[in-house]
Structure 1
Amino acid sequence: MSIPGKVARAIGAAGATVVLSLTLAVAPAQAGYGTLMGCPEGYVCLYPSASWNKNHPSMMWYYYGAYNLSNQWGMKRIFNNQTGTAFVRTCLQYNGIQCDNILAPLLYADLNFDPINSVLLSTY
């Protein structure tokens, strides 16, 4: 191959690399899930029955930690609208002790809240 051919091939390869780099640099960031069923992104929401309650949760939690419950009985829907490795667990005792059910992001469960006294938001 001639020297001009090698130079042209090298310039073409470099140009492809630059185009590829620019394409990757301007790719949009992955969008979040946003508000789902009335529950803002990043929150865990509790609904007053085993339904979405017309997208109106009765309780919402955002920060990691234990949340003690009072006057929460019967069937309720709990929805984890957190992202990444943020999980929610329901606990039989106050202060996030003796937890059993675990919900990964974007999952919900219809549970009997009679024995549940707290919820725990944490990373896995």
Structure 2
Amino acid sequence: MRKIVTIAAALTMAVGGGLAMAPGASAATPCPSGAVCIRETNGSILSRNIFYSYGYHNLSNVLGYRVLVNSQTGGAGFQVCLGYNGTNCSSVVRGTGEYDPYDMTPINSVVLVP
């Protein structure tokens, strides 16, 4: 429980939102090792929403509540950003696994960081 609280605290965004770790969440489609994925509402992961390379990835048509999955290795993290091209971002999230559904409607990019 302490790990979940620590991760949730680290995910608080400057704009007042945040992400929280989903304990024991199970998924229909696994996120490949080394990637950050955005899961569709039906549990699938579209290939366009699997990110491997560091840097920003602009999103298109990712709306509503979605599950983010960090399957990166070596302590790599990610950020969700209100702006395109990795601007106006949350703090870096380094915990691996799935996160509680998060409203992606205002999110326009995801940044992968080493």
> What TM bracket, shorter-length normalisation?
0.5 to 0.7
Report the number of matched residues: 84
| Counterpart selection for 1:108 from 88, 91, 98 | 98
Change (3 A) 1:101 1:78: farther
In structure 2, what is the equivalent of residue 120 of structure 1?
A: 111
Gaps of 5+ in 1: 1-36
Gaps of 5+ in 2: 1-28
The 5-angstrom pairing of residues 1-124 of structure 1 reads 37-49=29-41, 53=43, 56-58=44-46, 59-100=49-90, 102-109=92-99, 110-123=101-114
Q: TM-score, normalised by structure 2?
A: 0.66
* Letter in structure 2 aligned against 1:108: E
* Deviation (angstroms), 1:102: 3.4
- Structure with the greater alpha carbon radius of gyration: 1
* Letter in structure 2 aligned against 1:57: I
Percent of aligned pairs sharing the same letter: 36
Q: What is the CA deviation profile of residues 40-95 of structure 1, one whole-angstrom value per residue up to 9, with x for unaligned ones? A: 1101111012x7x1xx3122010101000111110001100001121011000000
Could you say what the CA RMSD is over the residues aligned between the two structures, in angstroms? 1.9
**Higher-helix-fraction structure:** 1
Q: What is the CA deviation profile of residues 21-54 of structure 1, one whole-angstrom value per residue up to 9, with x for unaligned ones? A: xxxxxxxxxxxxxxxx5111101111012x7x1x
3-state SS of paired residue (2:85): helix
Distance 1:64 1:118 in 2: 13
